[in-house]
Chains A and B, each alone.
Chain A
Amino acid sequence: MASFASAGLRLAGRGVVFGYTLLILAPFVWIALSSFKSQIQILTNAMVFEPVLDNYIELLFSKSASFHRNIANSLVVAAASTVLALAIAASAAFTLVRLPLPNWLRAAVFSWALLFHMLPTITFVGPWYVMLNSVGLSNGYVGLVLANVTHHLPMALWIVAAFMRDIPEEILDAARIDGCDERSSFMRIVLPLVMPGLAAAGALVFLFSWNDFIVALNLTAAATRTAPVAIATFAQEHDVKYGEMAAGAMLTTLPALLLLLLGQRLIVRGLLSGAVK
């Protein structure tokens, strides 16, 4: 196995990697601890403390609590965005990648998707708001879901398209000979074969929709506010409620943690095929 640094350098490198691992985990540990501290304990940086559940109770169960609603909103929006994005991306990817189409169409769609992915999101959120406002959809689920779907469609498209390309042409030929029209080929042959791709794309779309802040910040009102936006409001207040902010952050991170523990390979596959491009 080839090595490109001397043994000493490699050891130093591994030391750095080990150190970086700690560096990554430390902030998480810190915020996890903070979520179980009272406000006073946080402000005095108490290292030894008795953990309290006050923050979580306040967030979720108190009379003025609304965070559970924020979580529910996040769930609804992320789930709807994922389903819609997958449906659109899967059928479009099949047609674009495996059916005879004018070349310019294919190139135009993929190039535009790539370009759009690289442009700053905020520049689109502005006109989205104005557009949705003029039809009365600016603070509801529909607008946010459509915006999310558009935002993550390029990534979903690439991931699924990559899996579509891997299907051997002969299988599609056999399907035609067996009597499939294009829709049947898609539903009966192609879709079952790209399930892993759909899973990877779905996981990432869900994750990024759930994590989204900049779009939800501007396209939601109090009733439809998602969890990330709620966290930011904790931090903006005059009297920053650090404990609740930390607790809210922990709860909002749950999907990411779950996905990481259960579907790590999915994520890596999706990121590698969809993100470098």
Chain B
Amino acid sequence: MVMVGYEGVRKRFGSVEVLKGIDLAVQSGEFVALVGPSGCGKSTLLRLTAGLDAVSDGRVTIDGRIANDLPPQERDIAMVFQSYALYPHMTVGNNMGFALKMRKQPAADIAQRVQAAALTLGLDGLLDRLPKELSGGQRQRVAMGRAIVRAPKVFLFDEPLSNLDAKLRVHTRIEVRELHDRLGATSIYVTHDQVEAMTLADRIVVMHDGVIQQAGPPLALYDRPDNLFVAGFIGSPPMNLLDGRIEGQDGNSLRVALDIGGHLVAAASGGPAPAGTNAVVAGVRAEDLRLDNESTALQCRVRAIEQLGHESHVHALMGSTTRICVTTRERTGLRPGDAIGLSVAPERVHLFDRASGRRL
């Protein structure tokens, strides 16, 4: 059942169009991550969902009802803000119970729900403290507690972990997902960090320039990016992208001549190649490249080696300007300046039309 629906949603600020037609259906109980670089419109979309800004065109529906004209107060949603937005003059307990108080719930009821949420989040000793007496991590939990106590239809998260240090972030993101599962909630989570999105979401929605680039389960986006933007955005280190031309088809294989020199063989996707063009971009993930001594391999020169312990990143240069990154689990003996050859299995090559960016 669709809990939050976006139909042709557009948002303009003055003459600038920030959202250019968003169509998306978030199912009940789903955890959807909105990811993208700054300015892509993800936070704007979240604010439209909350009712903090008004939709310019299109419809937002919440639990089947058109929400366009509903003010935030009426939408039965809760939001966790990036800077937590706790009320500085209220205790933790009052912060968490505030929304229920505004809805005139009986005091005993509020106290019980606040207590329950505090226990879940490990805040039960802190209910009488003021926000300024808490650490960043504790404040983050209070922000979450404030949302949980409401038991709303939809949870909205606006980069809630970005103010935490790295270690706490990893720890807390697991808890966020656990809470979501336990409450059976519907969550929409905005982040610029694709690792967070990959680890948390049932479905990732990649946005760029006000448009949805691709929406789907994390591994689907990882294994089959629909376009160049998603290919370069998801995955770390980013996918290697090489310009080339399709020279010919050989049964199930496409022969691609790289502009920089050398050839790749890619598995044909089964669909017909778009007519009239053979200019493509070939994408290969760093972990799919193999060191190869065959003459058919791509010739590169090593620039730098990064040893991370569990894997090594080999940064190489093809020609004089094209950078390639290879990751391997082995400890290599390579050194800067060494000449190496790289090859890749045909099924691991992604081909994109150079002009439109779309997957072939």
- Chain A interface (Cβ < 8 Å from any Cβ of B): 168, 170-171, 173-181, 184, 189, 192-193
A184 to B, closest residue via Cβ: B102
Distance in angstroms between the alpha carbons of A193 and B79 in the assembled complex: 22
Counting CB contacts under 8 A, is B81 at the interface? yes
Q: B88 contacts which of A175, A177, A184, A193 (Cβ < 8 Å)?
A: A193
Is B102 in contact with A171, judged by CB distance below 8 angstroms? no
Q: A174 contacts which of B51, B71, B85 (Cβ < 8 Å)?
A: B85
Question: Given A170-B81, A184-B102, 6 more contacts at CB 8 Å?
Answer: A173-B52, A173-B72, A174-B146, A176-B51, A179-B102, A193-B88
Chain A residue contacts of B86, Cβ below 8 A? 171, 174
Chain B residue contacts of A175, Cβ below 8 A? 87
Is B85 in contact with A171, judged by CB distance below 8 angstroms? yes
Q: How far is the CB of B14 from chain A (nearest CB, A)?
A: 13
A180 to B, closest residue via Cβ: B102
Counting CB contacts under 8 A, is B222 at the interface? no
Chain A residue contacts of B265, Cβ below 8 A? none
Q: A181 contacts which of B73, B78, B83 (Cβ < 8 Å)?
A: B73
Which B residues between 77 and 105 are near A, CB-CB below 8 angstroms?
77-79, 81-83, 85-89, 98-99, 102-103
Counting CB contacts under 8 A, is B200 at the interface? no
Counting CB contacts under 8 A, is B50 at the interface? yes
Q: How far is the CB of B93 from chain A (nearest CB, A)?
A: 14
Listed residue (A170, A178, A184) with the most chain B CB atoms within 10 angstroms of its CB: A178
Is B73 in contact with A173, judged by CB distance below 8 angstroms? no
Is A177 in contact with B50, judged by CB distance below 8 angstroms? yes
Is A168 in contact with B87, judged by CB distance below 8 angstroms? no
Distance in angstroms between the alpha carbons of A220 and B99 in the assembled complex: 51
Q: How far is the CB of B136 from chain A (nearest CB, A)?
A: 15
Is A180 in contact with B73, judged by CB distance below 8 angstroms? yes
Is B72 in contact with A170, judged by CB distance below 8 angstroms? no
Chain A residue contacts of B102, Cβ below 8 A? 178-180, 184
Known: A184-B102, A192-B89, A193-B89. A176 touches B83 (CB 8 A): no
Per-residue 0/1 for B35-65: is the Cβ within 8 Å of any A Cβ (1 yes, 0 no)? 0000000000000001110000000000000
Distance in angstroms between the alpha carbons of A168 and B77 in the assembled complex: 21
Chain B residue contacts of A181, Cβ below 8 A? 73
A193 to B, closest residue via Cβ: B89
Chain A residue contacts of B73, Cβ below 8 A? 176-181
Q: A177 contacts which of B78, B82, B83 (Cβ < 8 Å)?
A: B78
B73 to A, closest residue via Cβ: A179
Distance in angstroms between the alpha carbons of A175 and B78 in the assembled complex: 11
Per-residue 0/1 for B255-273: is the Cβ within 8 Å of any A Cβ (1 yes, 0 no)? 0000000000000000000
Is A168 in contact with B99, judged by CB distance below 8 angstroms? no
Distance in angstroms between the alpha carbons of A170 and B82 in the assembled complex: 9
Distance in angstroms between the alpha carbons of A170 and B72 in the assembled complex: 13
23 contacts between A and B (CB under 8 A): A170-B82, A170-B83, A170-B85, A171-B85, A171-B88, A173-B52, A173-B79, A173-B81, A173-B85, A174-B79, A174-B81, A174-B86, A174-B146, A177-B52, A177-B73, A177-B78, A178-B73, A178-B98, A179-B73, A179-B99, A181-B73, A189-B87, A192-B89
Chain A residue contacts of B52, Cβ below 8 A? 173, 176-177
Is B89 in contact with A168, judged by CB distance below 8 angstroms? no
Chain A residue contacts of B75, Cβ below 8 A? 177
Chain A residue contacts of B79, Cβ below 8 A? 173-174, 177
Is B85 in contact with A168, judged by CB distance below 8 angstroms? yes
Chain A residue contacts of B88, Cβ below 8 A? 171, 193
B84 to A, closest residue via Cβ: A170
Q: How far is the CB of A108 from chain B (nearest CB, A)?
A: 22
Q: How far is the CB of A123 from chain B (nearest CB, A)?
A: 42
Distance in angstroms between the alpha carbons of A193 and B85 in the assembled complex: 13
A177 to B, closest residue via Cβ: B72
Distance in angstroms between the alpha carbons of A58 and B86 in the assembled complex: 58
Listed residue (A170, A180, A192) with the most chain B CB atoms within 10 angstroms of its CB: A170
Q: How far is the CB of A135 from chain B (nearest CB, A)?
A: 43
Chain A residue contacts of B98, Cβ below 8 A? 178
Q: How far is the CB of A178 from chain B (nearest CB, A)?
A: 4
Chain A residue contacts of B81, Cβ below 8 A? 170, 173-174
